[in-house]
């Protein structure tokens, strides 16, 4: 069956913002414009659909945003989308505005919304945008590289002062229930220990003993990374202090990890994925998520992205453990 020609699409960003979301919006708007498809920007995620918070976009309205952090369309988490009433309102807005397809950039909550809307007959394509890199079917999510680099830059600064005072810095890194960001950051800063929700550790052997051995071998300060999904950084610091007597300081990097100009990797990935999302709609696809798989951009059923939990990169985990001595 011949698919319906796409004349107008919508684009939204939803959930926690991620550096590179603007670059996705730019790629979507420019790809659509080049194919004579008009674009409506839906502001504040799905609540913009429910409340009709919509702007018209054109190739020139996205000039200069590729280098900007945040999202020009704003973002929000929208519990109303989980109700039948909210979902129906969102679908009705799409119908009323003549939206032939919707591109939704965000994480798993965003994809759940896209899946539900697809089932209501609105063709939806998800683009993975989250600093957590926790979408199982995609090797990469937009924003991860920038967040990783931001955290590394901050922790390198912490190391200077920890070294001067011979302290241990316990740093909480974002990631919600996932430890991908913490693992990569821990590796890149040369942490003594990295505590992750996905891997059980023996605190005495893997943290305390390592620190004691480090001391004997002349290491006078430490960085310990705690993924936010692992537990409280303060309790980790207290435990270290009680067991070793080392002076500890806690830093929660928090939302600073979500800001800043996207790295070239995030700009490029956003451009490739935003382009692919429009192409997917033009090909008549729906309920798909754009993913990076073995260095290739492709698309998969959204269900695949939501059904399982993404495991940590085991090679990276082992390498990081091996060198943290
Ligand atoms: O999903 C992205 C993320 O930054 C998580 O790492 C973090 O747990 C959460 O969002 C924070 O959410 P909020 O911005 O609502 O505080």
- Tens of pLDDT, residues 121-149: 999 999 999 999 999 999 999 999 999 99
Residue 99 reports pLDDT greater than 70: yes
Residue 105 reports pLDDT greater than 80: yes
Percent of residues, the chain, with pLDDT higher than 90:
94
Q: What confidence category does residue 306 fall into, taking pLDDT thresholds of 50, 70 and 90?
A: confident
118, 235 Cβ separation under 8 angstroms: no
- pLDDT computed for residue 308 by the predictor: 77
Residue 290 reports pLDDT greater than 70: yes
Probe target for ligand 1 pocket from 16, 172, 255, with the most ligand atoms within 8 Å of CB: 16
Going from the Cα of 255 to the center of ligand 1, the distance in angstroms, rounded, reads 8
pTM of the complete model beyond 0.85: yes
Which one is predicted more confidently, 308 or 231? Answer: 231
207 vs 180: CA distance, rounded Å: 19
Residue 2 reports pLDDT greater than 70: no
Provide the mean pLDDT of the chain: 96
Of ligand 1's atoms, which has the minimum distance to the CA of residue 18?
A: 2
Q: Which residues line ligand 1 (CB under 6 A)?
A: 16, 107, 130-132, 174-176, 228, 258
269, 256 Cβ separation under 8 angstroms: no
Q: What confidence category does residue 302 fall into, taking pLDDT thresholds of 50, 70 and 90?
A: very high
Mean pLDDT, to the nearest integer, of 182-205?
97
Of ligand 1's atoms, which has the minimum distance to the CA of residue 175?
A: 6
Structure tokens of 278?
Answer: 């429009």
Going by alpha carbons, the residue nearest to atom 3 of ligand 1 is: 16
Q: Which residues of 30-41 are buried (b: 16+ CB within 10 A; e: fewer)?
A: bbbbeeebbbbb
Probe target for ligand 1 pocket from 19, 77, 173, 176, with the most ligand atoms within 8 Å of CB: 176
- Sheet harboring 38-42: ordered strands across? 54-57, 38-42, 8-13, 101-106, 124-128, 288-293, 296-301
Number of Cβ within 10 Å of residue 290's Cβ equals: 29
Mean pLDDT, to the nearest integer, of 278-291?
97
Residue 109's nearest CA partner among 33, 7, 12 is 12
49 vs 12: CA distance, rounded Å: 9
Q: What is the largest CA-CA distance in the chain?
A: 72
Torsion from C-alpha of 269, 91, 101, 112, nearest 10 degrees = 30
**Range in 72-86, 171-185, 229-243, 306-320 the model is least confident about:** 306-320
- Output the CA–CA distances (angstroms, integers) from residue 34 to 29, 30, 277, in the order listed: 9, 6, 14
Mean pLDDT, to the nearest integer, of 298-319?
91
- Clarify whether 132 is annotated catalytic: yes
Going from the Cα of 16 to the center of ligand 1, the distance in angstroms, rounded, reads 5
């Amino acid at each position: 069956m011949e698919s319906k020609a796409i004349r107008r699409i919508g684009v939204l960003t939803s959930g926690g913002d991620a550096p590179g979301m603007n670059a996705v919006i730019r790629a979507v708007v420019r790809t659509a414009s080049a194919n004579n498809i008009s674009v409506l920007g839906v502001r504040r995620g799905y609540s913009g659909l429910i409340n009709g918070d919509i702007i018209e976009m054109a190739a020139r309205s996205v000039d200069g945003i590729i280098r900007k952090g945040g999202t020009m369309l704003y973002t929000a988490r929208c519990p109303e989308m989980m109700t039948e009433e909210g979902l129906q309102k969102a679908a009705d807005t799409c119908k009323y505005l003549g939206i032939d397809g919707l591109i939704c950039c965000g994480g798993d909550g965003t994809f759940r919304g896209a899946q539900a809307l697809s089932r209501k007959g609105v063709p939806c394509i998800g683009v993975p945008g989250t600093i957590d890199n926790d979408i199982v079917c995609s090797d990469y999510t937009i924003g991860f590289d920038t967040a990783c680099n931001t955290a590394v830059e901050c922790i390198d600064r912490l190391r200077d002062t920890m070294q001067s005072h011979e302290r241990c810095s316990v740093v909480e890194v974002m990631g919600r229930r996932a430890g991908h960001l913490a693992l990569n950051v821990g590796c890149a800063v040369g942490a003594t220990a990295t505590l992750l929700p996905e891997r059980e550790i023996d605190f005495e052997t893997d943290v305390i003993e390592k620190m004691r051995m480090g001391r004997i071998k002349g290491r006078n300060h430490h960085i310990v990374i705690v993924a936010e999904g692992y537990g409280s950084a303060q309790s980790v610091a207290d435990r270290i202090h009680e067991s070793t007597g080392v002076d500890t300081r806690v830093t929660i990097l928090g939302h600073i990890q979500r800001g800043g100009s996207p790295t070239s990797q995030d700009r490029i990935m956003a451009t490739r994925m935003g382009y692919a999302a429009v192409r997917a709609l033009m090909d008549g696809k729906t309920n798909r998520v754009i993913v990076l798989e073995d260095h290739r951009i492709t698309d998969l059923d959204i269900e695949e992205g939501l059904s399982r939990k993404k495991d940590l990169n085991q090679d990276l985990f082992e390498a990081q453990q091996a060198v943290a001595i």
